[in-house]
Amino acid sequence: MIISKYFTLLTLALLSVFWSQTFGATSVVLKSGDTLSGEISSFKENSIILTSPVAHEPLCIDIAAIELILFGKHTNTMEPHGEMVTLTSGCVLPCNVISLDAKQLKIVTSYGGEFNIDRTFISMIQFGVDNQEIIYTGNDLLDSWTMEGKWSKPDPTTIQSEGDGSLSRKLELPENLLITYSISWNSTPNFVFKFCGENGSAKTMQNCYEYTFNRAGMQIRRYQSNIKNPAPLALIDLKPSKFERRNIKLDFHINRKEGLITFYVDDKKIGTYPDQLEKSIGKYIIFSNRARQNQVTIKNLTVKDLNNGGALRFYETSKKIVSDTFLDSDGNIRSGEIFKISRAENKKRTMLMKDEFNATPLSVPDHRISLLSFTQTGNPPHFPESNFVAALLQNGQIKLSNLELIDGHLEAVHPILGKCKIDIKALLSLNKQADEKSSGRQ
- pLDDT per residue, tens digit, the chain (442 aa), is 444 333 344 444 433 433 333 334 688 888 887 888 888 888 876 888 888 877 788 888 888 888 888 887 656 677 888 899 999 998 999 999 999 999 999 999 999 999 999 999 999 998 877 656 778 888 778 888 999 999 998 888 899 998 899 999 999 999 889 999 999 999 899 999 999 999 999 887 889 999 999 999 999 999 987 777 899 999 999 999 999 999 999 999 999 988 999 899 988 889 889 998 888 899 999 999 998 888 999 999 999 887 654 555 554 554 455 789 888 876 678 889 999 999 877 678 899 999 888 888 999 988 888 889 998 776 777 887 788 899 888 878 999 988 888 888 889 999 999 999 999 889 888 887 755 443 333 3
Q: Report the distance separating Cα 123 and Cα 93, nearest Å.
A: 12
Measured CA angle at 323 (ends 320, 324), to 5 deg: 105
Q: Residue 132: what pLDDT?
A: 65
What sign does the CA torsion over 19, 23, 26, 31 have? positive
What are the φ/ψ torsions at residue 408 (nearest 5 degrees)? 80, 10
Q: Report the distance separating Cα 86 and Cα 396, nearest Å.
A: 9
Q: Residue 8: what pLDDT?
A: 41
Q: Report the distance separating Cα 122 and Cα 87, nearest Å.
A: 5
Within a 10 A sphere around the Cβ of 399, how many other Cβ atoms?
Answer: 24
Cβ(430)–Cβ(390) below 8 Å: yes
Q: Residue 131: what pLDDT?
A: 58
Q: Residue 112: what pLDDT?
A: 94
Q: Residue 282: what pLDDT?
A: 94
If you ran DSSP here, which 8-state letter would residue 417 be given? T
Q: Is 184 exposed, middle or buried (0-12, 13-18, 19+ CB in 10 A)?
A: middle
Q: Residue 77: what pLDDT?
A: 74
Q: Report the distance separating Cα 288 and Cα 167, nearest Å.
A: 6
Q: Residue 312: what pLDDT?
A: 55
Q: Report the distance separating Cα 289 and Cα 151, nearest Å.
A: 10
Q: Residue 12: what pLDDT?
A: 40
What sign does the CA torsion over 165, 169, 175, 181 have? negative
Q: Report the distance separating Cα 174 and Cα 304, nearest Å.
A: 9
Q: Residue 15: what pLDDT?
A: 38
Q: Residue 130: what pLDDT?
A: 64
Q: Report the distance separating Cα 269 and Cα 265, nearest Å.
A: 7
Q: Residue 13: what pLDDT?
A: 40
Q: Residue 307: what pLDDT?
A: 62
Q: Residue 320: what pLDDT?
A: 53
343 to 346, 362, 363: CA distances (angstroms):
8, 15, 12
Q: Residue 191: what pLDDT?
A: 96
